[in-house]
Amino acid sequence: MIKILDMKRVSENEIFLRGLSEPDVFAPVAEIIAEVRARGDAAVLDFTEKFDGVRPASLELASEEWDSAVDSVEPEFMDILREAAENIRAYHSRQLKKGYEIREENGVILGQKLTPLARVGLYIPGGTASYPSSVLMNCIPAKLAGVGEIIMVTPPDKNGGVNACILAAAKVAGVDRIIKCGGAQAVAALAYGTESIPRADKIVGPGNVFVAEAKRQVYGAVDIDMIAGPSEILVISDEKTSPVVLAADMLSQAEHDKMATAVLITTDAKLAERTAEELERQLSELPREEIARASIENNGKIIIADSIEKAIELSNRIAPEHLELCVDDPFNYLDLIENAGSIFLGRSCPEPLGDYFAGTNHTLPTGGRARFSSPLSVDDFVKKSSYTYYTEEALNALCDKIAGFARREGLEAHARSATIRKRLKGGN
């Protein structure tokens, strides 16, 4: 049964405290990365055989196999994928930016140049669930940004194939190549390159604790989107929301994995009790009951607050991945929300809208990182360069000031670099 707590008697650190802890996988991940760096494809194939139970004849998925898998997907689901993709494109296309240039009267030119990344690696999990939605969410912003090549890595099944729905989403989103490998070995291959897998500039996409740790360890050799932790949802509700709805929304994240966290903050004690009862009823109906129950019983909480404003104050300190605001006139409270990955407003806006269809991105900061980071966007797939142009006259007017600044920092060569052109022209 989920815990029911009084906001006045619980610290913010307790609220997303998990009853289970993630294993320490630093050493085995480091070993896998070292092996892939040393032995390339051979190591990737060895680890694929060890962890996935199959050794593909070729790491790259053949185009014929890809097309055949897509043809096997029901037309109705293909239509859903295409419509979801269009919603994602429509939302993310508004994020496209251009560089800028400033031209001064004295001939000085300053600017910023935006350049898309050349190659991005997209990690898509296999295992207990397949996520074609993650293909759309990670690939479409990259394509809009103008990334030159998108390589998707995903674990093969026991027969050496790849989930057809994932391949269909890859086709719709515009993935260029698909590599049949997963785990830390796939991350290492994308970070450092092998005979078959070219080195990427950035790795994006969700994964288990081994994938997350691998991304952490290769960061610096390659960019990453974020270190994603277990899924989180925080629901704030007054007394008017149905407990059936609240329980369903909490379970939508609890079923991800046993480490997921689902929290309800409500102003009504009776609603808290009814939601706890409803959670028990709905849990018994879920195909993934074991996973969802472990999440709810170990990590889930219902908290009773004095007001919606107090609930939002607490939420801001927690900085959840997903925040649902189930109240009348939710826009009246929007400006009070400071820290949340994605915000769902009103009683008719369940979190799965953002997961699949609305168009906002579902790759979000977890573990309180919404205090300082943002959802995946087009910006994540471009790099910015500044540029500067000075005329000879404009430099000469400033060189003594530049030199004075440099000498204050004890950097004489910097000072001379600024003044030497003027001295050479003067013959000194």
Identify whether 322 is a catalytic site residue.
yes
Is the pLDDT at 190 greater than 70, yes or no?
yes
Between strands 322-326 and 342-345, the pairing is parallel
pLDDT in tens, 75-105: 999 999 999 999 999 999 999 999 999 999 9
Q: Could you give the 3-state DSSP secondary structure of residue 16?
A: coil
Q: What percent of the chain has pLDDT over 90?
A: 90
Domain ranges for the chain, please list them.
3-22+230-358, 26-108+116-224, 390-425
Q: How confident is the model at residue 395 (pLDDT cuts 50, 70, 90)?
A: very high
Structure tokens given for 96: 């496209």
Q: How confident is the model at residue 428 (pLDDT cuts 50, 70, 90)?
A: low
Residue where the block lists tokens 């929301």: 241
Among residues 321, 324, 351, 362, the one annotated as catalytic is 321
pLDDT in tens, 116-145: 999 999 999 986 568 999 999 999 999 999
What pLDDT is attached to residue 22? 72
Q: What is the mean pLDDT of residues 374-390?
A: 98
Q: Are 185 and 93 in contact (CB under 8 A)?
A: no
Superfamily grouping for domain 3-22+230-358? Nitrogenase molybdenum iron protein domain (3.40.50.1980)
Asked, colleague to colleague, whether 3-22+230-358 and 26-108+116-224 share their fold, the answer is yes
CA-to-CA dists, residue 135 to 4, 66, 154, angstroms? 37, 15, 11
Q: Which distant-in-sequence residues (6+ apart) come within 8 Å of 204 by Cβ?
A: 120, 121, 122, 123, 138, 142, 224, 225, 363, 376, 380
Superfamily grouping for domain 26-108+116-224? Nitrogenase molybdenum iron protein domain (3.40.50.1980)
**Amino acid identity, position 321:** E
Identify whether 362 is a catalytic site residue.
no
How far is the C-alpha of 424 from the C-alpha of 410, rounded, in Å?
Answer: 23
CB atoms within 10 A of CB 358: 17
Closest CA to 96 of 149, 147, 170, 135: 147
Among residues 92, 256, 322, 362, the one annotated as catalytic is 322
Q: Which distant-in-sequence residues (6+ apart) come within 8 Å of 364 by Cβ?
A: 321, 322, 341, 342, 370, 375, 376
CA-to-CA dists, residue 336 to 13, 27, 69, 308, 309, angstroms? 21, 43, 47, 10, 8
Q: How confident is the model at residue 7 (pLDDT cuts 50, 70, 90)?
A: confident
Q: What is the mean pLDDT of residues 185-200?
A: 98
Is the pLDDT at 427 greater than 60, yes or no?
no
